[in-house]
Amino acid sequence: MGLLQRLEVAHEPGLTHSQLFLTNEDLQPVPEEKRTWTAFNFFAFWVADSFNVNTWMIVSSMVQLGLSWWQAWICVWVGYGIVAPFIVLNARPGAIFHVTFPVVARTSFGLYGSLWTTFNRAAMACIWYGVQASIGGNCVLVMLRAMWPSVNNIPNHLPASSGTTTKDFMCFFLFWLISLPAIWFPIHKIRHLFTVKAVVAPTAGITFFIWCIVKAKGVGPIIHQSSTLHGSELGWAMVSSLMSAMSNMATLVTNAPDFASRAKTPSAALLPQLLSVPITFSLVSFIGIIVSSSSVAIYGDAIWSPIDLLARFLDDSPSHATRFGVWFISASFIIAQLGTNISANSVSAGCDLTALFPRFINIRRGGFVAAIVGLCMLPWNLLKSSNSFTSYLSAYSVFLSSIAGVMISEYYLIRKGHYRVADLYTTRRDGWYWYTYGINFRAYAAYIAGILINVVGFAGATGRTVPLAATRIYQMSFFTGFGVSAIVYCLLARLAPVPGMATTFEEVDVSKDEERDDGSFSEHDDGGGGKNENTKSDVYVSEVSA
């Protein structure tokens, strides 16, 4: 057996080259025994995902922009309330047909055309993995300082060109190391991590909330601070703020089918996500407001990062009780960052890289690849080299919203819930998703249109001087990118109809026992002229009723 054969993931014998490029176990529809995510698991997932440092700090940019705390909080409620239906809409194909985002993307962009959109999401997942791990390393430093204060005095043996210190790199590496076992667990089992986080992280957050109010002898001055903006300036600031909340979720909107594919019933991925997203993220943001407001009363400055505030608690010879409290909260934030990195980045990268290299990578291996990339990219340098780096990453949501616009309009308006699952794994020229040489150029025209309307404003977000009108359009980038791509795709699909366009909405896999014109059955075709039972699929009408 050669080296390449040893590196291959497990697969059925006798597959053709085209099949090896299109499928492996993790790309096939999830079998029933692995559909273990109930409504409670989806609720716990979002409770867990909301408790992370980024969510805690999201209101800070809004208040610093000139909004009052309650105006900023309204923006958070509205922003997450609007984005939740988009998550549910894009998750629906995964919940019905039990396939992940890269496979769902094939239906709209084509068997090969989906590779670019999948690569986009994989690259972002790997970059964000490193960034979130760097933040997790800061949590580890605070926790270790609470246990052993001398950790703060570790001498630096790294050159200035490294961009970090011995102490900081040690903590980053420790967080990176403890994350590896979590990557090993498959998606249908990792739900237990989110259940644990959904208990530990809120407990720590509420404890921190009460502790700061007691320490400050009140809620602090930010609560009494009025807005410094008025008129249209205030209106656009609020629009920009609620859009920042939506942009923060653009990556999870795109890959919503990944976790929904493990849903026990389609309804499990519907109401729990629709309600939990705005509620949990808004409550965490409120805690962040009060804690940061209290920090003004305690230290004279608004400290928006909970990790920085905990580190201040450890200055000036803290008591044993204070050190224990800081240890508990920082340890909980480590679990919070770990859960967020797994849910938003590791699993996403695993699913996407599986689709890019299905012969050699599965979801587990893809998650480890993301971890290695996150380490090698030296994320602390990216964060320190530019204060706008995280803003740049959020700005990338314009590309992801255009992808989501095509995918959602394809499912609900063009094919109206009709799938031919067998065609997702075959290169037959008469397959629904072959389009033109495996690429749906209608989808790409719509995708590019959604980007172009925001590209000038996107340049402004990265520091260029652009017209005010372009900035205003970009401030609504999620809507403009999503809306333009969806409208253009629908128009092009009407002008040049795609295979399988439907007139009535019915979520059904029509590939089972569907006879082709030549008398063969699509479910048995392997794309190479042979027969392959692995491409069989089921009709999911009975599940839809759930």
Decide if 493 contacts 442 (C-beta within 8 A). Answer: yes
Neighbours of 149 (CB within 10 A): 13
The residues facing 523 across adjacent strands are none
pLDDT digits (tens, 9 = 90+) for 100-121: 999 999 999 999 999 999 998 8
Strand partners, 362: none
* Confidence label for 14 from pLDDT (cuts 50, 70 and 90): low
Q: Are residues 475 and 460 in contact, defined by beta-carbon separation less than 8 angstroms?
A: no
Please, what's the largest Cα pairwise distance for the chain?
82
Is a pLDDT exceeding 50 seen at residue 445? yes
pLDDT tens column, 171-215: 999 999 999 999 998 887 888 888 888 889 899 999 999 999 998
Beta-bridged to residue 521, according to DSSP, are 515
Question: Between these two residues, 536 and 222, which has the higher pLDDT value?
Answer: 222
Q: Range with the lowest mean pLDDT among 334-338, 407-411, 441-445? A: 334-338
Secondary structure of 388-445 in the HEC alphabet?
Answer: CHHHHHHHCHHHHHHHHHHHHHHHHHHCCCEECHHHHHCCCCCCCCCCECCECHHHHH
pLDDT the model gives residue 392: 61
Q: CA of 43: how far to CAs of 68, 115, 156, in Å?
A: 30, 31, 44
Q: What is the pLDDT of residue 522?
A: 44
Token pair recorded at residue 502? 């439907």
Listed range (1-15, 151-165, 270-284, 431-445) with the worst mean pLDDT: 1-15
Give the HSE-up count for residue 267: Cα atoms under 13 Å, Cβ half-sphere: 5
The pLDDT of residue 9: 73
pLDDT of residue 468: 86
Residue 16 pLDDT > 80: no
pLDDT over threshold 90, residue 260: yes
**pLDDT score for 11:** 66
Helix and strand counts by DSSP (H, E) for the chain: 24, 2
- Say if residue 90's pLDDT is above 70: yes
CA atoms within 13 A on the CB side of 518: 7
Task: Extract the tokens encoding 142.
Answer: 């605070």
pLDDT band at 447 (very low <50, low <70, confident <90, very high): very high
Mean pLDDT across 515-539: 40
DSSP string, 207-227: HHHHHHHHHHTSS-GGGGPPP
At 535, which amino acid appears? Answer: T
- Structure tokens, 383: 């964060």
DSSP class per residue in 467-523: -HHHHHHHHTHHHHHHHHHHHHHHHHHHHSPPTT--SS---EETTTT-B-TTS-BGG
Q: Cα separations (Å) of 12 from 34, 160, 209, 251, 524?
A: 19, 52, 54, 33, 15
2 pLDDT tier (thresholds 50, 70, 90): low
The residues near 232 (Cβ < 8 Å, ≥ 6 apart) are none
The answer on pLDDT for 457 being more than 90 is no
Higher pLDDT, 521 or 242: 242
Do the bridges between strand 508-509 and strand 418-419 make them parallel or antiparallel, or are there none, so unpaired? parallel
Instruction: Identify the band that residue 486 occupies on the pLDDT scale cut at 50, 70 and 90.
Output: very high
Residue pointed to by tokens 């295979």: 499
Is there a contact between 102 and 110 (Cβ–Cβ < 8 Å)? no
Higher-confidence residue of 514 and 282: namely: 282
| Closest alpha carbon to 294 in 30, 475, 69, 51 | 69
- Work out the pLDDT band at 301, boundaries 50, 70, 90: confident
% pLDDT > 70, the chain: 89
Query: Quick one: pLDDT at residue 391?
Result: 60
| 434-448: burial string, b at 16+ Cβ within 10 Å, e else | bbeebbbebbbbbbe
In this structure, the number of other CB atoms found within 10 A of the CB of residue 89 comes to: 17
For the stretch 333-372, pLDDT in tens is 999 899 888 888 899 899 999 999 988 899 899 999 999 9
Supply angle C-alpha 124, 130, 135, rounded to 5. Answer: 120
**Phi and psi (nearest 5°) for 509?**
-90, 110
- Does residue 518 register a pLDDT over 60? no
pLDDT at site 409: 96
Top mean pLDDT of 171-185, 216-230, 304-318 is at: 171-185
For residue 243, the Cα-to-chain-centroid distance in whole angstroms is 16
What was the pLDDT predicted at 191? 82
The residue ranking higher by pLDDT, 141 or 193, is: 141
Question: Percent of the chain at pLDDT above 90?
Answer: 48
Provide the pLDDT confidence category of residue 403 given band limits of 50, 70 and 90: very high
Phi, psi of 184 (to 5 degrees): -65, -30
Q: What is the average pLDDT across 27-54?
A: 89
Q: Is the pLDDT at 255 greater than 60, yes or no?
A: yes
Query: Given pLDDT bands bounded at 50, 70 and 90, which one contains residue 298?
Result: confident
Q: Which of 126-130, 268-272, 521-525 has the lowest mean pLDDT?
A: 521-525
Q: What is the mean pLDDT of the chain?
A: 85
Buried b (16+ CB within 10 A) or exposed e, 516-526: eeeeeebbebb
Comparing CA positions, the residue from 320, 283, 260, 318 lying closest to residue 98 is 260
State the pLDDT at residue 540.
36
- Range with the lowest mean pLDDT among 202-211, 432-441, 520-529? 520-529
What is the mean predicted confidence (pLDDT) over 238-257? Answer: 86
Whether residue 61 contacts residue 244, with contact meaning beta carbons closer than 8 Å, is answered with yes
pLDDT level of residue 84 (50, 70, 90 thresholds): very high
Number of other CB atoms surrounding residue 425 within 10 Å: 25
- Main-chain phi, psi angles of 148, to 5 degrees: -130, 95
Cβ proximity of 408 and 451 under 8 Å: no
Look at residue 533 and tell me whether its pLDDT is greater than 50: no
